[in-house]
Amino acid sequence: MPETFSQYLEKWLKQSTAQGLNTLIMKNRRRNGMILLSCLLLTSTCLTNCAVSISYRDAVTYNNLTDLKAEAMTLVETFDTKPVAQNEAAIENVTLEFRKALEYEKGKGKSNNDTIEQLNKIKGLLNDDIKDYRENGNATLGPKYFQEAARVLGQAFDIAIATENLKNRDK
């Protein structure tokens, strides 16, 4: 049977007294504890999932980027003057170094996705240059085509290196 307003008011007044409140609290202690625990878990989950992951500056990454920049630019610059057969070993070496650097970055986790994405884009630029070189040789695209390609590649590396330098240095 539904409660009348006067019954509700009387119940409320009983519960409003110190003894009535104490009784209500004691009756609902377990339920209140569960609600509090649920709120704490929900808050911690939100804070964990909503937190921005911080990627820290890494000296190994910085060294990998600067070394790869020098190797890749030097290699692409030679595409204007050397035949493909003379550069195959160097192409394989730079490709392997890129793979090592990418695997290192992937091992650092999700907070490092920006560096992984940058390395993938740079590797894509290099792969395009290698494809053009293998398909067209060094005479078809112009005498300084690959020097310009090397400059663009260097600029892409500069962005990745600058990004690494801007990362938080305090762990």
Which domains are assigned to the chain?
5-50 (no CATH), 59-166 (1.20.120)
pLDDT value of position 10? 67
Give the closest residue to 78 by CA, choosing from 152, 127, 137, 154: 137
Residue 48's pLDDT is 46
Predicted confidence at residue 37, as pLDDT, reads: 46
pLDDT of residue 46: 44
DSSP-derived secondary structure letter, 122: H
Averages of pLDDT over runs of 10 residues in the chain (171 residues) are: 65 60 52 48 47 66 94 94 93 96 91 89 95 84 88 94 81 61
Q: What is the pLDDT of residue 170?
A: 64
Read off the pTM.
0.66
Q: Contacts from 164-170 at CB under 8 Å and sequence distance 24+?
A: 164/57, 164/58, 164/61, 164/62, 164/65, 164/115, 165/57, 165/62, 167/55, 167/56, 167/57, 167/58, 168/54, 168/55, 168/56, 168/57, 169/56, 169/57, 170/56
